[in-house]
Amino acid sequence: MGTILMVGTRKGLWIGRSDDRREDWSWSGPHHDMEEVYSCLVDTRGGSPRLFAGASSSWLGPQVRWSDDLGETWRETSGGAIRFPEGSGATVERVWQLVPGAADGVVYAGTEPGAVWRSADRGETFALEEALWNHPQKPEWGAGFGGQAFHTILPHPTDTDSVTVAISTGGVYQTTDGGASWAPRNQGIRADFLPEDQRYPEFGQCVHKVTRHPSRPERLFAQNHGGVYRSDDEGGSWTSIGDDLPSDFGFPVVVHPHRPDTIYVFPLGGGDGRYPPEGRARVWRSDDAGESWTPYDDGLPDPFYVAVMRDAMCADTHDPAGLYLGARNGAVWASTDDGTRWRQIISDLPDVMSLKVGVVE
């Protein structure tokens, strides 16, 4: 079995290849040199891997590109990019998210400004999810520090009509009718940046990332701008699980590929100091769905004064599982023992914005 790791940065994409031991890595890059790569995807459906990159050029704008030969050659979405309909008054600035759907050939994209797009032909063309784009609450969605974007798209693993998405700052939304309608799913999530008596709104939360395990689709985990949460009813209600963490601010949240109650976060010191508490890089793991947490730092740097972004942490499906962590100092660390011990596998890249890994034959 082989392992493919895509590293999207502020100045291009790097592709790492290894075997199932994940000890030695070979690298190619930069692909899409000097373009911002905020999203990438290793799509292993269809027998052979297809690599996707959401790249943004200062001259050409945002593009969705794909490769069927591990980055040797690249093609672009029909027409060159995802574009809003003429007369909409909107322009796509970045592609923040690329994820596979539950149905064969379906790929979703999330963009800035906040919109979700669906492809039924494995990324060759995309169509706007118009009911979400025209949602009556949309005029009140704000923009986080990084802009207004859908940073999370979670297609239900078996129900092709059900998709959960999250935007900063707008909150979690869900469709159960194939995109014909969308409802907010934010009960119990606080928004600390609002006045005291308005901190639990129906929508308007700044969500950084949401994840789930495919064997437990009703259970969601969320890392917000202040707050780590779990939902046991697919977003109908949320419970805080961040009390034992040194900070409940952070960007990524990752679920273990084989253990649905095991999750990982990388706490940061809040909006004013976006580096780990005490300047120590630690991955915090919970093996009981957030009831308790344990820090792991073996092989991670100390001191460490940079952030790990929402899509710069991921897990592969090997057993034992591999965890990957990329930082804004251009370094990537890997663990091959469920996140217990870490080692640096590449350094001196531009700011790492996204990591995606795939296991291939």
First to last CA, the chain: 5
**Predicted pLDDT at 146:** 76
Q: Kindly state the average pLDDT of the residues 300-328.
A: 97
Q: For residue 217, give Cα distances in angstroms to 123, 213, 267.
A: 25, 6, 25
Residue 332 and residue 66: Cα distance in Å, rounded? 23
- What's the whole-number average pLDDT of the chain? 94
Strand residue runs (E) in 20-72? 26-31, 36-43, 50-57, 61-67
**Is residue 240 very low, low, confident or very high in pLDDT (cuts 50, 70, 90)?**
very high
**Is residue 346 very low, low, confident or very high in pLDDT (cuts 50, 70, 90)?**
very high
**Predicted pLDDT at 79:** 60
**Predicted pLDDT at 361:** 78
Residue 1 and residue 14: Cα distance in Å, rounded? 20
The pLDDT of residue 272 is above 90: no
Give the pTM.
0.96
**Predicted pLDDT at 349:** 98
The pLDDT of residue 224 is above 80: yes
Q: Kindly state the average pLDDT of the residues 129-156.
A: 93
**Predicted pLDDT at 80:** 52
The pLDDT of residue 236 is above 80: yes
Q: Which class for 131: exposed (0-12), middle (13-18), buried (19 or more C-beta within 10 A)? A: middle
The pLDDT of residue 137 is above 60: yes
DSSP annotation of 305 reads: -
Q: Kindly state the average pLDDT of the residues 352-356.
A: 98
Q: For residue 251, give Cα distances in angstroms to 32, 228, 271, 296, 361.
A: 25, 10, 11, 17, 32
Q: Kindly state the average pLDDT of the residues 14-20.
A: 97
Residue 179 and residue 298: Cα distance in Å, rounded? 44
Q: Kindly state the average pLDDT of the residues 38-47.
A: 91
Per-residue exposure over 10-42, b if at least 16 CB sit within 10 Å of its own CB, e if not = bebbbbbbbeeebeeeeeebbbbeebbbbbbbb
pLDDT in tens, 78-104: 765 688 988 888 999 999 999 999 999
**Predicted pLDDT at 217:** 96
Asked if residue 251 lies in contact with residue 208, where contact means CB atoms within 8 angstroms, the answer is yes
Q: Is residue 353 left, alpha or beta, with left meaning phi > 0 and alpha meaning psi from -120 to 50?
A: alpha
Q: Is residue 114 left, alpha or beta, with left meaning phi > 0 and alpha meaning psi from -120 to 50?
A: beta
**Predicted pLDDT at 85:** 87
**Predicted pLDDT at 354:** 98
pLDDT above 90 covers a percentage of the chain that reads 86
Q: Which class for 79: exposed (0-12), middle (13-18), buried (19 or more C-beta within 10 A)? A: exposed
Residue 260 and residue 214: Cα distance in Å, rounded? 8
Cβ-based neighbours of 72, under 8 Å, separated by 6 or more: none
**Predicted pLDDT at 86:** 87
